[in-house]
Amino acid sequence: MQPLLLYGVPFSQPVRAVMWLMLYKRTPFEMVLINPGSKGETGSRNPAYLAKNPGGTIPTIEEPDTGFVLSEAHTIMCYLSNTHGWEDVYPTDYRLRARVDWYLHYHHRNVRDASVGLVAPKIRKDLNIPDVIQQAAHATLTKALHALESSWLAESRYLTGEQLTLADFAAYVEIGQLQPGFTNVYDFAPFPNVRRWLDEMKRVDGHDDVHVVLAELGDISGEPPTMEAIRSANKNALRVLKAKLRELTP
């Protein structure tokens, strides 16, 4: 069986969620570099990639043996869990699974959009994203973190219970990237349960391998990183990932 292809770059949060799940499960895959938003040959807006995912976003996976193609990080993670029998991270009990799905649906508008709204203006100064957008993103994220703090993470070790699930991978790649040590663009002081969970997630297998790109890029709260710095961080992350994948390949 040929290894699964994962299209994307490590700098992308939803791509990292899929990468992390696969590394956590020690499942070999091959990363195919696709640059988000670019119309170039290796871009997500190139006709060749749009033929796989008309939405033009990363990640996408492809099974070389069957030709099956799938996009959207959460759909991919559910599919991989279903087909590999990863019931620990995506439980088969209807209620437990529904709680994971609950977070995965909640995530898009409340956590993902807000985290992008906080980081994008720092990275793409050229886009002159208005302050009001950043303020709205900050307010949305703060509301979501209050919800996680006082409910999900007040009741359990991980988001949906005592067991690590897809919800944690999905949430961490967005929320975790804002921490000191990575981009450092959000103050988590008012959220002790969220901080405890962030520390817990740092101990999950594969965390460091998946977050090389952010560790390399470091604090962007002051000076925005150059395109060269982002490219170089992605390159180093890919190098580390390839070495890790070689270890996993039988």
Ligand X SMILES: N[C@@H](CCC(=O)N[C@@H](CS)C(=O)NCC(=O)O)C(=O)O
Contact footprint for ligand X (CB under 6 A): 12-14, 36-37, 44-45, 56-59, 72-73
In whole angstroms, how close is the CB of 28 to ligand X at the nearest point? 21
In whole angstroms, how close is the CB of 84 to ligand X at the nearest point? 19
Q: Note whether 91 and 165 are within 8 A (CB).
A: yes
Alpha-carbon gap, residue 169 to 187, rounded angstroms: 21
Phi, psi of 69 (to 5 degrees): -125, 140
In whole angstroms, how close is the CB of 61 to ligand X at the nearest point? 11
Alpha-carbon gap, residue 114 to 106, rounded angstroms: 12
Which long-range contacts does 223-229 make (Cβ < 8 Å, 24+ apart)? 224/122, 224/123, 224/124, 224/125, 225/123
Q: Left, alpha or beta for 249 (phi > 0: left; psi -120 to 50: alpha)?
A: beta
In whole angstroms, how close is the CB of 75 to ligand X at the nearest point? 8
Q: Which is nearer to ligand X, 37 or 192 (CB)?
A: 37
Alpha-carbon gap, residue 195 to 197, rounded angstroms: 5
Alpha-carbon gap, residue 57 to 67, rounded angstroms: 19
Q: Which is nearer to ligand X, 198 or 213 (CB)?
A: 213
Q: Which is nearer to ligand X, 112 or 244 (CB)?
A: 112
In whole angstroms, how close is the CB of 45 to ligand X at the nearest point? 5
Q: Which is nearer to ligand X, 35 or 179 (CB)?
A: 35
Phi, psi of 222 (to 5 degrees): -100, -95
Contacts of 181 (CB under 8 A, 6+ apart): 215
Q: Which is nearer to ligand X, 56 or 121 (CB)?
A: 56
In whole angstroms, how close is the CB of 58 to ligand X at the nearest point? 4
Alpha-carbon gap, residue 50 to 34, rounded angstroms: 11
Q: Which is nearer to ligand X, 72 or 101 (CB)?
A: 72
